[in-house]
Chain A
Amino acid sequence: EADIYQTPRYLVIGTGKKITLECSQTMGHDKMYWYQQDPGMELHLIHYSYGVNSTEKGDLSSESTVSRIRTEHFPLTLESARPSHTSQYLCASSESAGWNEQFFGPGTRLTVL
């Protein structure tokens, strides 16, 4: 059973605030990903990680940062939220090879006022 969790599910916050979106998985997967998606639209990869202490930026430029101190945890941080950051953020994980499907969390819907 795939288990990947994201908190919070919904977040409304004012401009300039620092926020951290949490993502955890219990499957022991090496690879983890963050995508940004406007609802029902294209997914944009913003960060990924091969494993502990390994993080890379994705295709879409993002002002967010990530860390991977533990295999199961891959938080995303925005130092200063802006209205342009309003979107849905999806976390995913997969086993090492490209053969394996990604498992997605339920997403965090962020609104920055």
Chain B
Amino acid sequence: AQKVTQAQTEISVVEKEDVTLDCVYETRDTTYYLFWYKQPPSGELVFLIRRNSFDEQNEISGRYSWNFQKSTSSFNFTITASQVVDSAVYFCALSEAGTYKYIFGTGTRLKVLA
């Protein structure tokens, strides 16, 4: 069965702190795709990154970095030197090859305090 678990419901940090958002997934497929989305207070989900199951290379984009580990079925997201504008709900999602469906986690609400 497919499942995405984001165990952290809410995280609060002070500006400039680093923060890691956890994502653990379950799938029986060998080919699958993982995604992170950001939902700011305005409500629209914004795509951040995708990874396929054959590419475990970590990725860095500015202050954002992603750590994909198949051995632990995790796809964690780190924000370095957090800013108030990073305050949002972040969703991790899973999609299997050839399927219509995207399985979303329950989201992690990040609050960055000035």
Contacts and interface: CB of A to CB of B under 8 A. Distances in A.
B83 interface: no
A42 B97 CA distance: 23
Contacts of B32: 98
Interface string A96-113: 011101111111010000
Contacts of A45: 101-102
A98 B103 CA distance: 11
A43 B104 contact: yes
B43 interface: yes
A40 B109 contact: yes
Interface in B26-58: 32-33, 35, 37, 39, 42-47, 50, 52
A42 B107 contact: yes
Contacts, number: 62
B47 A102 contact: yes
A40 to B, nearest CB: 5
Interface string B3-29: 000000000000000000000000000
B82 interface: no
A39 interface: yes
A88 B104 contact: no
Interface stretch (B63-71, B73-81, B88-96): B88-96
* Interface of chain B: mostly helix, strand, loop or mixed: strand
Contact of A99 (B45, B52, B104, B105): B52
A101 B97 contact: no
9 contacts: A40-B89, A42-B105, A45-B101, A50-B100, A98-B96, A99-B97, A101-B47, A103-B47, A107-B43
Interface of A: 31, 33, 39-43, 45, 48, 50, 56, 88, 90, 92, 94, 97-99, 101-107, 109
**Which 7 A-B residue pairings sit nearest by Cβ, starting from the closest?**
A98-B95, A104-B45, A101-B47, A42-B106, A107-B43, A40-B89, A106-B44
Given A48-B101, A90-B43, A106-B44, 14 more contacts: A40-B39, A41-B106, A42-B106, A43-B91, A45-B102, A50-B100, A56-B100, A97-B97, A97-B98, A98-B33, A98-B95, A98-B101, A105-B44, A106-B42
